[in-house]
Structure 1
């Protein structure tokens, strides 16, 4: 079982280190770090920043979960970006064309998005298990192809609708929307936040309460050992990529069904790459990913306020980047400290029983 130190200390150290490094950057630029951080913190009570942060974190959370599923199998699904964009355009086209009762309409759109994301992830998955093609290379290429597919489908000659200077899919009828929760002047919270929480719980339950989750983690730890235990490693690779793609297919839905109701070339991008950072920060745990998503979204939303005090908003990007880099280092440091502490504990226990550790008896080191 992991200690609290292994679980909580690394992200805290990473955040502190990121703040220190960002403070140095601020001082070099002639700005006051305390004023900058105070300005960013004060934004939580300003206007709709708090609600906007949670809404954006919902998107980041789904992207982080999609990446984390691949990480559990030691797969680097860098194609979440392409998978969610492909799924979004397919779901938007289907949602705009269908005429169904409320709830059922929404359910069908969500199902179409998940299936489209899984189908797009199936391409690198099949290449991986049949030809040994690296999922990193294949998914990067598919990210670029997704952009071309969207440009083709949104064309007015296909499924696009010209609205002013913008071209997008036909608007989804209200029966397909996910109603939000209004907070007056503070904005409207996406109703999809509850669906995202349900997906996070399903991810946790799958990993910790099902045989499939156990086999998935076992295959990720060692495919050789898993195969010896009767687990088909190739089957697990395929399943992990399909699940990752299905969750990736949901990434754009909070905005699509809760705010925009159509999808076009100008729709927000780069959520998939942010999901990688969020999954790393959260260490693939649903609660950790939620924390990472909220932190990332808050830094994105509050960064604009820095311009009011003549501080470049890119300082938030520095904080985000250093958090990701330092969290990896921090986890390794704490992990080694825990191993050393465990070795000392075993040594003391053996010494108390009148025995010496094997390394001492054999003249070696632990």
Structure 2
């Protein structure tokens, strides 16, 4: 019961606290909080909102898993943003330039994205294990470099082609597409939602049922103790960063293979940074990350209803930011409560033993 309370109570408190903050902000702006929140809930049943939430959840989930792998080693991989963009361009270029049978074509594109993401993450990984360069600094710089590289690769002088007023990579043939689940007027669910689910299951199995997962967590908690147990900390750092980058490379796959079939300059940005917030909210647990991704997607898509209520959509950004900040505070409050409760229990047990003797 205590473990369950320690895992569920903090995010619940964080969400309630952020809702309270947003309610206060709405009151100050002259809006009715209950009406605004009610409109967001009702928006889920309108048009393609529900399907859009599911599709965004799968993308956010993959990004958060990429961040979580690094967090397990106490590595702050801020470079997921750049890793998925570079991987998206490379995979789209390769996918649009080759002809392969259905299924094989898709698999090659997905593997290309994973390898490209891992290769981009390898640069800060090698810098860290060989020169001790902080991964926060190097991955931030790599993000800026990734923007330039992706723009260069899709330029008309390289692999891009002009369609209307937009420059994009060649369209991937239908043999490389992943068909979705057509729900008619409600929209189409990405077929690669199953990829997000598979990655979540694989992440849980790796962290809880394999020696590698144990060594990964041990290295993150204490590199010195792990080294004493025969674990090569530098090797674990390198593997964790490469694995994080490979997962990050898959972030764009649901959308590229399920809807756009190409990469252009209008491709969604900021998913990598959103993944950091969701990994924090979910405390690196695959189930918690899934709930965090679903909540984030709901706020993104259902927030469109606020325009009809005369409420600025920035209130959604306030809620998302306050959730991340308050979840850190909530976990610390619950942790201190648990420590105090444990100390009281120990004191009571000692008192009972002394009384009986």
TM-score normalised by L of structure 2: 0.98
- Counterpart CA distance in 1 for 2:349 and 2:193 is 49
Instruction: Report SS of the residue matched to 1:45.
Output: coil
Aligned to 2:335: 335
Asked whether the equivalents of residues 181 and 188 of structure 1 are also in contact (C-alpha less than 8 Å), the reply is: yes
- Counterpart CA distance in 2 for 1:81 and 1:41 is 30
- Counterpart CA distance in 2 for 1:276 and 1:140 is 13
Unpaired segments of 5 or more residues in structure 2? none
The correspondence of residues 89-104 of structure 1 with structure 2, limited to 5 A, is 89-104=89-104
Aligned to 1:221: 221
- Counterpart CA distance in 2 for 1:248 and 1:355 is 59
Aligned to 1:364: none
Aligned to 1:24: 24
1:247-288: CA deviation from partner (whole Å, max 9, x where unpaired): 000001110000000002221111000000000010000011
Aligned to 2:47: 47
The correspondence of residues 74-89 of structure 1 with structure 2, limited to 5 A, is 74-89=74-89
Aligned to 1:276: 276
TM-score normalised by L of structure 1: 0.96
- Counterpart CA distance in 2 for 1:98 and 1:289 is 36
4+ residue runs of structure 1 moved beyond 6 angstroms? Answer: none
- Counterpart CA distance in 2 for 1:186 and 1:355 is 68
- Counterpart CA distance in 2 for 1:267 and 1:4 is 39
Aligned pairs, how many?
A: 356
1:79-101: CA deviation from partner (whole Å, max 9, x where unpaired): 00000000000000110111111
Instruction: Report SS of the residue matched to 1:162.
Output: strand
Q: CA 1:50–1:131 in structure 2 vs 1: closer, same or farther (change >3 Å)?
A: same
1:182 partnered with 2:182? yes
Cα deviation for residue 350 of structure 1 reads 2.1
Cα deviation for residue 326 of structure 1 reads 0.1
Instruction: Report SS of the residue matched to 2:77.
Output: coil
- Counterpart CA distance in 2 for 1:85 and 1:355 is 67
- Counterpart CA distance in 1 for 2:349 and 2:103 is 61
- Counterpart CA distance in 1 for 2:340 and 2:230 is 34
- Counterpart CA distance in 1 for 2:194 and 2:350 is 51
- Counterpart CA distance in 1 for 2:35 and 2:188 is 30
1:97-151: CA deviation from partner (whole Å, max 9, x where unpaired): 1111111111111111001000000000000000000100000110011111111
Per mean C-alpha deviation after superposition, the further-off stretch among 261-270 and 201-210 is 261-270
Instruction: Report SS of the residue matched to 1:150.
Output: helix
- Counterpart CA distance in 2 for 1:22 and 1:10 is 18
The correspondence of residues 231-250 of structure 1 with structure 2, limited to 5 A, is 231-250=231-250
- Counterpart CA distance in 1 for 2:121 and 2:355 is 55
Asked whether the equivalents of residues 303 and 314 of structure 1 are also in contact (C-alpha less than 8 Å), the reply is: no
